[in-house]
């Protein structure tokens, strides 16, 4: 017989060590599919490490990949903290990117110190608006936000495809469905010359620190945590659950929208339907690996980005599918979920005595 007993006060080592242990176990378990694929395991791990950290170019690519993951991870973390299950960061990312292109491709012009903030605000606002609707449906009518935010992802991507074939289409793209490029004054400048890592990384780090302070040190952050712990008790104590949820929606959707801005104004320079390889969904994994900690999101995003970049490099070198990266990230999430359960509960195995 198995009995689960709640842990009254889990140690800090257990709480913070579980995500680290989960990542290590996931990487070790990756040896199984590598062996089944006939790849040299030690060499494969070495190629993954060198692919992510072996040169300045590798590190810059890893940081470039981590930038949108930090922002979508923060979007998921703040939403999940309030029990607002935002699965729509992918759609919010695309809406933010589309707003950035609509404003930053020449509709208005000005110096970079004006254009960059305008593009960032437009993208964040577009992402925020995308989540406010499902949030109000949840608080007012009890509609499941998992369903509404998930389905909105597909609606937004179809809408983006329509716009790229119409109003936003670049006449110089030779028929390819992509937008006009963002003007130079609206481009996020690179942090290192001849590298792709850009100002979006600094913005993402600032957002992480600011969100950590906001959640821990402000009245609004306390209300968000209170609603997440027990919405009924928070409402009884005088906290407006609807207003708090709308605030969370604005923060979460805005952060996901900023991820879209970082891609079109920093990495790509234009909008296309393949802008995101799933950053919105990967952000959920990043947030869970970080246990919803804004600072932890930075670390987990770097881990996920290094796995993706390292696996891409390894797949080119030894011919193993780069989907191994998705497998590692999925196993890490599974290990974190199991570890989180064992952090909250003690497991007791009891032998049932036979009668007589």
What are the DSSP calls for 147-204, one per residue? HHHHHHHHHHHHHHHHHHTTTTB-TTSTT-SBBPPPPGGGSPPBSSTTSS-BHHHHHH
Q: Which residues pair with 346 in a beta bridge?
A: 5
Q: Encode the chain (356 residues) as per-residue pLDDT tens digits.
A: 777 777 777 777 777 787 788 888 888 888 888 888 788 888 888 988 898 898 999 999 999 999 999 999 999 999 999 999 999 999 999 999 999 999 988 888 889 999 999 999 999 999 999 999 999 999 999 999 999 999 999 999 999 999 999 888 888 877 788 899 999 999 999 998 889 999 999 999 999 999 999 999 999 999 999 999 999 999 999 999 999 999 999 999 999 999 999 999 999 999 998 899 889 999 998 998 888 999 999 999 999 999 889 888 888 888 777 777 778 778 877 887 787 777 777 777 776 655 54
CA distance 125 to 260: 12
Please identify which residue in the block is written with the tokens 């032998």.
Answer: 351
CB atoms within 10 A of CB 354: 5
Q: Which two tokens stand for residue 333?
A: 């999430």
Q: Which of 313, 240, 218, 322 is nearest to 277 (CA)?
A: 322
Supply the pTM of this predicted model.
0.91
CA distance 13 to 10: 8
Domains of the chain, start order: 2-349 (1.10.3470)
CA distance 93 to 124: 9
SS3 6: strand
Classify burial at 353, counting beta carbons within 10 Å of its beta carbon; exposed 0-12, middle 13-18, buried 19 or more: exposed
Cα–Cα distances (Å) from 311 to 32, 130, 192, 336, in that order, read: 15, 33, 24, 21
């Amino acid at each position: 017989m198995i009995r689960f007993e709640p842990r009254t006060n889990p140690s800090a080592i257990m709480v913070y060590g579980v995500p680290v242990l989960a990542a290590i176990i996931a990487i070790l378990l990756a040896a199984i599919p590598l062996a089944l694929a006939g790849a040299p395991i030690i060499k494969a791990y070495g190629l993954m490490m060198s692919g992510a950290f072996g040169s300045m170019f590798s590190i810059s690519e890893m940081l470039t990949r981590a930038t949108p993951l930090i922002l979508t991870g923060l979007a998921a973390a703040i939403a999940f903290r309030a029990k607002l299950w935002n699965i729509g960061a992918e759609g919010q990312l695309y809406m933010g990117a589309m707003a950035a292109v609509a404003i930053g491709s020449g509709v208005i012009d000005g110096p970079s110190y004006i254009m960059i903030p305008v593009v960032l605000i437009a993208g964040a606002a577009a992402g925020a608006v995308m989540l406010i609707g499902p949030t109000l449906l949840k608080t007012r009518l009890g509609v499941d936000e998992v369903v509404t935010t998930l389905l909105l992802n597909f609606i937004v991507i179809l809408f983006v495809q329509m716009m790229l074939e119409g109003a936003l289409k670049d006449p110089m793209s030779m028929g390819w469905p992509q937008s006009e490029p963002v003007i130079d004054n609206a481009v996020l400048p690179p942090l290192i010359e001849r590298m792709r890592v850009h100002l979006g990384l600094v913005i993402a780090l600032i957002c992480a620190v600011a969100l950590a302070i906001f959640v821990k040190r402000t009245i609004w952050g306390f209300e968000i945590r209170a609603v997440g712990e027990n919405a009924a008790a928070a409402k009884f104590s005088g906290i407006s659950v609807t207003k708090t949820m709308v605030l969370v929606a604005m923060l979460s959707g805005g952060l996901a929208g900023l991820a879209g801005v970082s891609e079109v104004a920093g990495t790509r320079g234009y909008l296309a339907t393949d802008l995101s390889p799933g950053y919105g969904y990967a952000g959920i994994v990043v947030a869970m690996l970080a246990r919803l900690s804004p600072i932890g999101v930075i670390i987990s995003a770097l881990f996920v980005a290094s796995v993706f970049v390292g696996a891409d490099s390894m797949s080119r070198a030894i011919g193993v599918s780069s989907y191994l990266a998705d497998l590692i990230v999925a196993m890490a999430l599974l290990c974190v979920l199991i570890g989180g359960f064992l952090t909250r509960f003690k497991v007791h195995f009891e032998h049932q005595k036979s009668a007589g």
